[in-house]
Amino acid sequence: MNWILRDVRMILPEGEVEGDAWIKEGRWAALGRVPDRAAGQTFLARGAYLLPGLIDTHVHFREPGLSHKGTFFTESRAALAGGVTTTLDMPNTAPPITSVARWEEKMRLLQGRSWTHYGCYVGATSDNLAELRRLDPRRVPGVKVFLASSTGDLLVTEEAVVRRILQESPVRVLFHSESEALIQAARQRWESCTWDDVPDLHARARPSEACIESTRWLLSVAREFSTPLHILHVTTQEEVALLRGRPSHVSAETCPVYLTWSAADFPTYRNFLKCNPSLKYETDREALWQGLADGTLEVVGTDHAPHLWQEKEQPYPLAPSGVPSHGYLLPWLWTIGQARHLPLRFWVEKACHAPARLWRLRERGPLREGYWADGVLFDPEGQTIVPPHLDPRHFSKCRWHPLAGRVLQGQVLAVWVNGSLSYHKGAFYGAPAGQAVEMD
């Protein structure tokens, strides 16, 4: 179906434009002034913002093998409701995606089941370099390297292996940057403690030094190679400072969880904010905001990682690390940015334009005539109420979110995926329209 969106305010790469938009055969046919010959279903936007669909380059949608926590159907649906139209999924599933064959099998599994466009990373191991060399850079968005243990059993600690991966990978290499040796030392010291004993327990068990040492080493190694390198979920003030001197082929992200909370919030949330890397301290949180503002951190990725409520209720050593962050992303970003007087354009850059540019997504990203019509109608004056924990109104399968009970500024009114109206005022329409992403 073709659409004519009347009376929208559009955030384009070149600036903000008021007018109308025409979706024809799944693509943006006109932005600003629609020709008289245009035909299609009319949607009256009444001055709401038309934004490009957000691109989340860091999610854990749990398939295959962990579907009791989430499925691509449920988690992409939650992402869509928050204004996201493209998601790139991590490989630490069961089994982990560590070969071309497993990657192909996963891509077949997702066909017709994702509300968002999707891409899947391949995980690095100590001995799968031959598989990584075979990756198609037009179809595979990157290789994920876990330098420290986290959810799943992917781990690469040998420096020589990391160098070989950077030397020979045909695709971007993404790093979970923590020092395994420092984490194991901290674990021996702190794992017998409880939250009652140590209010900032997880920040001590996954200390800042582990992140700083690892990122410092990665930046030194990055200068030896030209392969694009991306550092995930940056959490510390010192890492932001180190990244200001990074080579041009290195990029970095932080996540909404680290922008919203700090280790001072552990007494309230405990395991429900337990994630890796850990939340750090208020000075670190302020440094992340500054790093976003000055361009040191180019990307906001969610690290959406659902676990069941009862899993999180276990004692600290047994509770898994990870926090669900989809369902409300655009209102969440808009709300935390309002306190810092950040315009919508800021989040469009960090969560759409920059990811599309860095990952070279083909004909996706900005609102641009001829590109695929992935768009979000957003009312910045509206409200989004996050349901209580375990409420069925959560779209994510785990049915909880650390923002539970909060009233967020802004409301996602509608979302188009490849020109199909897939979400409107809390309801989903048609079949999942997401397609596999392609890279230029």
Angle in degrees, 0-180, between the axes of helices 208-222 and 159-168, rounded to the nearest 10 = 50
Question: Residue 222 is part of a domain; what is its CATH number?
Answer: 3.20.20.140
Which residue range is the domain that position 294 belongs to?
Answer: 53-358
Tokens of 158: 């040998």
Is the predicted pLDDT of residue 155 greater than 70, yes or no?
yes
d(CA 117, CA 362): 12
β-sheet bridge partners, residue 361: 439
Q: How much is the mean pLDDT over the chain?
A: 97
d(CA 371, CA 368): 6
Please indicate, yes or no, if residue 17 is contained in any of the structural domains. Answer: no
Tokens of 301: 């990725």
Contact partners, residue 371, CB within 8 Å, separation at least 6 = 27, 28, 363, 364, 365
Is the predicted pLDDT of residue 152 greater than 90, yes or no?
no
> pTM score, two decimals?
0.97
Give the pLDDT of residue 188: 92
Band of residue 151 on the pLDDT scale cut at 50, 70, 90: low
Is the predicted pLDDT of residue 289 greater than 90, yes or no?
yes
Is the predicted pLDDT of residue 257 greater than 90, yes or no?
yes
Q: How far is CA 337 from the centre of its chain?
A: 17
Give the pLDDT of residue 191: 86
Burial of 146 (0-12, 13-18, 19+ CB in 10 A): buried
Question: How many distinct structural domains can be found in the chain?
Answer: 1
Please indicate, yes or no, if residue 91 is contained in any of the structural domains. Answer: yes
Please indicate, yes or no, if residue 256 is contained in any of the structural domains. Answer: yes
β-sheet bridge partners, residue 436: 118
Is the predicted pLDDT of residue 150 greater than 80, yes or no?
no
pLDDT in tens, 357-369: 999 999 999 999 9
d(CA 4, CA 23): 6
Is the predicted pLDDT of residue 11 greater than 80, yes or no?
yes
Please indicate, yes or no, if residue 291 is contained in any of the structural domains. Answer: yes
Contact partners, residue 339, CB within 8 Å, separation at least 6 = none
Burial of 330 (0-12, 13-18, 19+ CB in 10 A): buried
> Is the link from the previous residue into 343 a cis peptide, with omega within 30 of 0?
no
Please indicate, yes or no, if residue 83 is contained in any of the structural domains. Answer: yes
pLDDT in tens, 51-90: 999 999 999 999 999 999 999 999 999 999 999 999 999 9
Please indicate, yes or no, if residue 370 is contained in any of the structural domains. Answer: no
Task: Tell me which residue of 116, 112, 89, 87 sits closest to 102, measured CA to CA.
Answer: 89
d(CA 126, CA 157): 8
Amino acid at 318: L
Tokens of 146: 């876990």
